[in-house]
Structure 1
C-alpha cells in the first residue's frame, strides 16, 4: 500500500487534477491520497489558503466579506467547469459551509481562522473524489474525523494524539481510493484544529504511519530534492537518497521541501518516503530512508536561513561559576524565548536565536537582566546574522570536512562569525553576516560538490 500526498501546486487547476488522476490510476497500490488546498497556478497567483485567511481576517475585523467568499467559490467553480463536472451541489455546499463556519465562530477568532483555513483542503478533497468517481475510479472522500485523526485542541498548532494511529489502521479495510484532506484534524472536544506550517505534509505522514503503508509518496513540483537551494546555485545536484536525520536537519535549517515536524511519524514507523514530481511522475525522485551509503557522498546538502541574532556575553572566570548557564536560560524562558545554538568558551558565551523574538521591548529587558542578575563584564546583541548548515551523516567518518568548509569560505573572503558542530556530527553550523550568505553558500557548494565531481573525473 502507498499513501500519496499532493501539494498545493499539484492540485491548483483542472490540468493538475488530471495529472493527479493519471498518477493514481497508474498504480493500484496508491490506495490513499492526501490533498492540499489549491496552490498557485502561476507566479503572481494567490493560494486558496491565503484567500481564506483574508476571509477570516475580514470577519474578525468586522469588514464586508461577501466578495471574498465569491472569490473562493469561483476558484473551485473554474476547476469543476474545466473538468466538466456536474458541481452545482458541491458549490452550494461549499458556500453553505463557509457561511455556517463564519456564523458559528465569528466571536472566537482563533477557532474561526482554523475552521476557515481548513476548508481549503477539505473542499479540494471532496472535489478530487468527485472527479475520480467521474472518470470511473472507485473513490470516496474521507473526513479527518471519520479517518480518526484526533489532535490536541490548540488552534493553529495541532499535535496528533496516539489513539489516532489505531483508528487510522482501519482505513485499510475500506475499498477503492480514499481521498483525505490534509492540514487539519479534530480535537476530542470536536473542534477543527489545523497543524502548523507544512500541515498537509504532516497529515500525509500521519496517515502513512497509521495505515502502515509500504511507501509514503510526496508529490510536489520538482523532480527531486536538491542538495542546495536552486535559487542560489544554478542546476544544483539532485539527491537520489537522503536519510531522515539529514532531511530533518536541512528542513530545520531552511529547506522548504518539508517542515521539520512533518517526517516524524514515518521516521518512527520506518516507512520510506519518495519525493516525486506531479508534472514528471516518471522521474525517480528522491528517497528519504533510515540509512544510505555515505562513501560517495558524505555531505547530503547545504541549507541557509536569515533573521538571526546573537546575544554575546563575557565574564571573567565564567567557567567556574556554577549555575551560570541555568540562570541565563531562565531569563530567556521568563521572556518566552527559545534559542537555536549556544557556542561558548571559558569566559564567554553566545546565544543564537531568531531576532523576531526580541521585539516589543524584550531585547532591552533581557540585556538589563543579564547585566544585573549575572553581573557580567559585557553583554550585547549582534543583529543581521545568517546560519548555514552543512549536513551529512558521512561527515563522522570522513577526515577534513570542517577544513574544507573553512578553506572555501576563506578563499571567498567571507568572515566567519561562529562555528558550531553537534556531538552527533550530522551537521556543521556556520554563522555569517546576512549580506554575504549567498556567496558563502555558493563557496561551500563548490567545495563539497563541484570539486568532488572534478576529483572523480580526474
Structure 2
C-alpha cells in the first residue's frame, strides 16, 4: 500500500482533481489518499483555508459573514459541478459550513481550529464522493470515526499513540481510503489542528499507521533541490537523501516539509517520495532511512534561515565556574524561552534564539537577570543573525569538509560568526550576518555543485 498526499495547489479546481484521480488510479498500490484544502487557482486567489479563517473571525466579531460563506461554498461547487457530483455532495458541504456558527466551542482557539479544519474535511469528503461516482470503492476516513486522536492543543496538536492502533484495521482494506489532512480529534471530542504543514503531518501519520510501502508527497515541484531556487536558478535536484539530511535542511529553511512533518514516517521507516502532481512520471526525490545508504557526493544540500538573534557572554574562567550554564538556563526557563544553539569556549558562551520566541520585553528582562545573577565581563546582543546549514551524509567521510566550506567565504570577506558541527558529522552550521547569508549560500553551492567540480 502507498499513501499519497496532495497539497492545496494540486486540489485547486476540477482540472486538478481530474489529474490527481489519474495519478491515484494509475498505480493499484495507491489506495490511501490524504488531501489538503483547495489552494490558489491563480495569483491573488485566496486559499479556502484563508477564507475559513476570515469566516471564523467574522463569527467571533459578530459581523456579517454571508459573503465569505458564499465564496467558500462556491469554491466547492466549482469543483463538484464539472465532475458530476454537485447534487450528491453539495447538500452535505453546505450544511456543514452553514451550521458552524451555531456550534458550541470550548474557547475561541477551538472555534478557529474547527472552522479552518473544514477546508480539508470537506475536500476529502468531496474527493470520496467523486471516486464513488466513478465506480471506485471508496471510504471517507472521517477522523472522528476513524480515531485520529490528538492532544488538547487547538492550533498545535500532536498525535496520540492510540491513533496508530485505530488505523491498523485498515491496512488490508481493498477500498480507496480518503483522509482529510491538517487535524485530528482530542480526547474531549474537539477538533484540533496541527501546526504549519499540517497535511504533511497527517500523511506521515497515515503512512505509519497503515505500514505503507512508500509515502508519496505530491506537490508543485519536480524534486527537492540542493539549494533554494530563488537563490540559484535551476539548481541540481536531489535524487535520494536520508531522513536526517531532510530534517537538518528543513530546520534551516527548506520549504518542502517543515521539520516535524516527517517524524511519524521516520519512526516507522517508511520511505518518502516527493513528486510533482503535474509531472507524476518524474522520479522526484526519495527520502530514505540511513541504514545501507551510500552518499553520491560530499554535500547533499545547503540552506539558510534568517530571523535569529544571539546573546554573547564573556567571563574570564567561565569554564571553571560550576553551575554557570544551569543558572542561565533557569533564567530562560523562567521566561519560557527556548534556545536554538549554544556554542561555547573556555571564557565565552553564545546563545542563539529564534526571534519568533523573543519579544523586546523578554529580551530586556533576560539581559537584566543575566547581568544580576551571572555578572558577565561582557554581554552583547548580536542582531540580524542568520544560520546556514550545509548537509550531507558524505561529509562524515571527509576530514577536510569544514576547510572546503569556509574557503570560498573567506575569499569573499564574509564574516563567519559561528561554526558548529553536529555529533553525527553530517551537518555543519555557520552563523553569519543576515546581509551575507544569501551570498554565502551561493558561494558554497557554486563550490560544491557548479561545473561538476570534484571535491
Give yes or no for TM over 0.5: yes
1:290–1:173 Cα change, 3 Å: closer
Is the Cα–Cα contact under 8 Å of residues 355 and 383 in structure 1 kept in the other structure? Answer: no
288-297 or 435-444, which deviates more: 288-297
- Which sections of structure 1, spanning at least 5 residues, go unmatched? none
**1:267 aligned onto 2:258:** no
State the alpha-carbon separation in 2 of the partners of residues 228 and 326 from structure 1. Answer: 38
Q: Which residue of 2 aligns with 1:151?
A: 150
Is the Cα–Cα contact under 8 Å of residues 117 and 193 in structure 2 kept in the other structure? Answer: yes
- Correspondence list, 1:127-206, <5 A: 127-206=126-205
Q: State the shift of 1:94 in Å.
A: 2.3
So what's the TM-score if we normalise by structure 1?
0.96
Q: Which residue of 2 aligns with 1:61?
A: 61
Q: State the shift of 1:173 in Å.
A: 4.0
Paired residue total? 454
Q: State the shift of 1:147 in Å.
A: 2.2
Is the Cα–Cα contact under 8 Å of residues 367 and 380 in structure 1 kept in the other structure? Answer: no
Q: State the shift of 1:355 in Å.
A: 1.8
State the alpha-carbon separation in 2 of the partners of residues 347 and 190 from structure 1. Answer: 53
Q: State the shift of 1:66 in Å.
A: 1.5
Runs of 4 or more above 6 Å deviation: none
1:163-189 Cα offsets, whole Å, 9 max, x none, are 111110111243321111011111111
Q: Which residue of 1 aligns with 2:397?
A: 397
Is the Cα–Cα contact under 8 Å of residues 69 and 95 in structure 1 kept in the other structure? Answer: no
Q: State the shift of 1:353 in Å.
A: 0.7
- Correspondence list, 1:34-433, <5 A: 34-83=34-83, 85-88=84-87, 90-105=89-104, 108-291=107-290, 293-433=293-433
Is the Cα–Cα contact under 8 Å of residues 59 and 106 in structure 1 kept in the other structure? Answer: no
1:455 counterpart SS class: coil
Is the Cα–Cα contact under 8 Å of residues 150 and 160 in structure 2 kept in the other structure? Answer: yes
1:295–1:359 Cα change, 3 Å: closer
Q: Which residue of 1 aligns with 2:437?
A: 437
Q: State the shift of 1:406 in Å.
A: 0.7
1:294–1:400 Cα change, 3 Å: farther
State the alpha-carbon separation in 2 of the partners of residues 120 and 4 from structure 1. Answer: 18
State the alpha-carbon separation in 1 of the partners of residues 316 and 411 from structure 2. Answer: 34
Q: State the shift of 1:410 in Å.
A: 1.5
Q: State the shift of 1:89 in Å.
A: 5.2
2:396 counterpart SS class: helix
State the alpha-carbon separation in 2 of the partners of residues 295 and 358 from structure 1. Answer: 38
Is the Cα–Cα contact under 8 Å of residues 314 and 377 in structure 1 kept in the other structure? Answer: yes
- Which sections of structure 2, spanning at least 5 residues, go unmatched? none
414-423 or 1-10, which deviates more: 414-423
State the alpha-carbon separation in 1 of the partners of residues 195 and 295 from structure 2. Answer: 36
State the alpha-carbon separation in 1 of the partners of residues 280 and 398 from structure 2. Answer: 35
Is the Cα–Cα contact under 8 Å of residues 60 and 106 in structure 1 kept in the other structure? Answer: no
234-243 or 432-441, which deviates more: 432-441
Q: Which residue of 2 aligns with 1:9?
A: 9
Is the Cα–Cα contact under 8 Å of residues 218 and 276 in structure 1 kept in the other structure? Answer: yes
2:453 counterpart SS class: helix
Is the Cα–Cα contact under 8 Å of residues 105 and 111 in structure 1 kept in the other structure? Answer: no
1:366–1:22 Cα change, 3 Å: same
1:381–1:265 Cα change, 3 Å: same
State the alpha-carbon separation in 2 of the partners of residues 107 and 391 from structure 1. Answer: 44
1:114-172 Cα offsets, whole Å, 9 max, x none, are 10011000000011111122223222211012222111111111111111111101112
Q: CA RMSD of the aligned region, Å?
A: 1.5
1:40 counterpart SS class: coil
Is the Cα–Cα contact under 8 Å of residues 216 and 272 in structure 2 kept in the other structure? Answer: yes
Q: Which residue of 2 aligns with 1:33?
A: 33
Is the Cα–Cα contact under 8 Å of residues 85 and 129 in structure 2 kept in the other structure? Answer: no
Is the Cα–Cα contact under 8 Å of residues 88 and 129 in structure 2 kept in the other structure? Answer: no
State the alpha-carbon separation in 2 of the partners of residues 161 and 357 from structure 1. Answer: 26
State the alpha-carbon separation in 1 of the partners of residues 364 and 314 from structure 2. Answer: 17
Q: State the shift of 1:279 in Å.
A: 0.3
Is the Cα–Cα contact under 8 Å of residues 120 and 181 in structure 2 kept in the other structure? Answer: yes
1:371-419 Cα offsets, whole Å, 9 max, x none, are 0011111212111111110011221111321111111111232111211
Q: State the shift of 1:428 in Å.
A: 0.7
Q: State the shift of 1:358 in Å.
A: 2.3
So what's the TM-score if we normalise by structure 2?
0.96
